[in-house]
Structure 1
Amino acid sequence: MKGPVRITDPLLDVLEVLLEAFRENRQPHGWAIMKAVGRSGPTVYGVLDRLEDAGWVTSQWEQQHPQDNKPRRRFYQLTPSGTTEATGLLARRRPTNPGRSQHQRRPDWGLGAVWRGMQAGGVR
């Protein structure tokens, strides 16, 4: 399997969020990933595109957003081989703090907080 062309901090941040989602048996959508890592949309969606091209991630569009007049969301998940590759890459690149981003995230925007906000009827 080919890997992402460039290994960057944003890529590692997104992989950490996707691994957290995998462990929690969830499929985050792009906006939730963007908020969890605290990076801009173009950065996060560029990483997700590279991961999908490399075969590490798959995505699917929801049929309809649960709230009226909202656009459909695209949900992402690691493939089995992507999970293995991401785990190894993060162990090599972030060995002192596996599973936690080195990027300065907003403390209230972890992936769990984003999902809890969505379930409560909206995100801050």
Structure 2
Amino acid sequence: MRLTIPVVKVLSALLAEPDAPRYGLDLMRLTGLPSGTLYPVLHRLQAAGWLAADWEEIDPVAAGRPARRYYRLTGEGIRAARLALAELRALAPAERPREGGAGPAGAPAW
């Protein structure tokens, strides 16, 4: 899996609570990514076996909204994501992917 800024943001958001299922809008809010960036990342993670996706079982009429597709990391995804992010953190700052400057209060830019 190629660790781009969007992939790192999605993996970090999912690893914050690995057992919590997340839906698209929730992930967009957590990562700051637009849907046109988020959903291709989710698709790649799912194709790699790192992510499982299931539709919510609700009656859209009764709920007053469409069913959500929930995403969660698989066991393999949790292990692989933790390893990949740890390796990324171990890189020298100049080797890390950059998005446009440092993050707030010493936070990484990714």
TM-score (norm 1): 0.68
How many residues are matched?
Answer: 94
Q: 1:85 aligns with which of 73, 80, 83?
A: 80
Change (3 A) 1:67 1:47: farther
Is the 1:55–1:82 Cα contact (8 Å) retained in structure 2? Answer: yes
Structure of greater relative contact order (alpha carbons < 8 Å, 6+ residues apart)? 1
Q: Which residue does 2:64 correspond to in 1?
A: 69
How much is the aligned-residue C-alpha RMSD, in angstroms?
Answer: 2.2
Between the aligned partners of 2:26 and 2:62, the Cα distance in structure 1 is: 16
Larger radius of gyration, structure 1 or 2?
2
Provide closer, same or farther for how the CA distance between residues 52 and 68 of structure 1 changes in structure 2, counting only shifts above 3 A.
same
Alignment of 1:34-113 (within 5 A): 34-64=28-58, 68-95=63-90, 102-103=109-110
Tell me the residue number matched to 2:6: 10
**Which structure has more helix as a fraction of its residues?**
2
Identity of aligned residues (%): 34
**Helix, strand or coil: the match of 1:11?**
helix
- C-alpha separation in 2, matches of 1:57 and 1:75: 10
- Offset from partner CA, 1:15-52 (integer Å, 9 cap, x none): 00111121xx3111111011100010111111000000
CA contact (8 A) 1:30 1:75 kept: yes
- 1:106 is matched with none
* TM-fit CA distance, 1:93: 1.3
* Structure 1 alignment gaps of length 5 or more: 104-124
Q: Distance in 2 between matches of 1:8 and 1:14?
A: 10
